[in-house]
Amino acid sequence: MRAVPHFPLLQDSFLVSILAEHGFQYHTTTAKELTMTRWLPDTPSELSQRGLNHHSVIGVVLDKDGRILMIQERRRIQHGWKFPGGRANDSEPIFHTAKRKVAEETGINAEPLALIALRHKVLKTYSNIGSFFFFCLMRVNYESGVEEPELPTPPDEFTVWWFTK
């Protein structure tokens, strides 16, 4: 667990100031409930600060032979292979996020071509909180006439591979 949530009831509103003294911050509110959270690690919070929904961008990267680029998180091998991508920064355009996340996770320079799918996932705990996932079709950018870019060494937390049909 990296964050601790607390759900003070209206009749317990006096707890808000006590929780704030102990590092809790407002996270989400609705007409009937309030959620306060405290981030535990000594790193900046990764909790969404953008209201009730955040957006992530997924890069579906193809090379000139039609192979698909996929990654596997080394700490989550049981989750299998997935497309590179992740959460957008505040006010970051979708295609910029796609290009940035693919480069960060794989070392591959790819150009976004089109938005090909959208998924909205609603958290079951809160019916009004969720995530939007934008899937972007991308092609490898073959700079300076390079025919076959080698897979660069990815960050330690990822394994990167080209898949075919």
Same domain, 76 and 151: yes
Same domain, 69 and 96: yes
pTM given for the model: 0.65
The pLDDT, as a whole number, for residue 145 is: 55
CA 164, CA 106: separation in Å to the nearest integer?
17
Same domain, 33 and 59: no
Residue 105 has pLDDT above 80, yes or no: yes
Query: Domains in the chain: how many in total?
Result: 2
The pLDDT, as a whole number, for residue 126 is: 55
Same domain, 133 and 101: yes
154 part of a folded domain? yes
The pLDDT, as a whole number, for residue 10 is: 79
Same domain, 26 and 92: no
Give percent of the chain above pLDDT 90: 33
Q: Which domain holds residue 127?
A: 54-163
Highest averaged pLDDT of the listed ranges 56-70, 79-93, 145-159 = 56-70
Residue 58, C-beta contacts closer than 8 angstroms, at least 6 positions apart: 83, 84, 85, 98, 133, 134, 135, 136
The pLDDT, as a whole number, for residue 52 is: 61
Same domain, 78 and 131: yes
23: left (phi > 0), else alpha (psi -120 to 50), else beta?
Answer: left
Q: Which residue has the tokens 């090909």?
A: 116
45 part of a folded domain? no
Task: Flag the least confident range among 4-13, 46-55, 77-86, 92-101.
Answer: 46-55
Cβ(56)–Cβ(131) under 8 Å?
yes
Same domain, 152 and 75: yes
The pLDDT, as a whole number, for residue 127 is: 56
The pLDDT, as a whole number, for residue 49 is: 57
Give the residue-averaged pLDDT of 5-22: 84
